[in-house]
């Protein structure tokens, strides 16, 4: 378990098991939890253990981690039998709707998703 080192970050606290969450998957570098305030029948968050504030804070050293993050997206989608499809969202920054400053991927599924600006979490 590495780099979950922001004392007050909720996702770092969940990674360190100082705060509770409903885990769906976890490994050394990535974990997946159910969103506490789901916007759809399936609403999961795929989260790197490393505290990376947002997309803009990524560096080339994180390339392997990002590849693995999307491997986990595929794995979880298969586990949840989301063959009919799902939406992946990464909000970045305040105007992007990001409310937790620790990079995370939303997986949203279970209802027909059109494209509407106000439908994004």
Which residues contact ligand AMP (rule: CB under 6 A)? 10, 21, 33, 35-37, 45, 91, 97-100, 121
Helix (H, G, I), strand (E, B) or coil at 92: coil
Fill in the per-residue mask, 36 to 75: x = in contact with Zn ion (CB under 5 A), - = not in contact: ---------------x------------------------
Catalytic one of 43, 81, 102, 104 = 104
Closest contact distance (angstroms) between CB of 45 and Zn ion is: 12
Distance CA 51, CA 9 (A): 8
Helix, strand, coil % over all residues of the chain, rounded to 5: 30, 20, 50
């Amino acid at each position: 378990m590495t780099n979950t080192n922001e004392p007050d970050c909720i996702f770092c606290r969940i990674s360190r098991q100082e705060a509770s969450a409903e885990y769906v998957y976890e490994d050394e570098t990535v974990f997946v939890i159910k969103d506490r305030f789901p916007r759809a029948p399936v609403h999961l968050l795929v989260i790197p253990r490393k505290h990376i504030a947002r997309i803009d804070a990524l560096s080339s050293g994180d390339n392997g981690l990002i590849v693995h993050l999307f491997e986990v997206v595929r794995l979880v989608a298969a586990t949840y039998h989301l063959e009919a499809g799902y939406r992946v969202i990464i909000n970045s920054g305040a105007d992007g709707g990001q409310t937790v400053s620790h990079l995370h991927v939303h997986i949203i599924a279970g209802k027909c998703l059109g494209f509407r600006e106000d439908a994004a979490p």
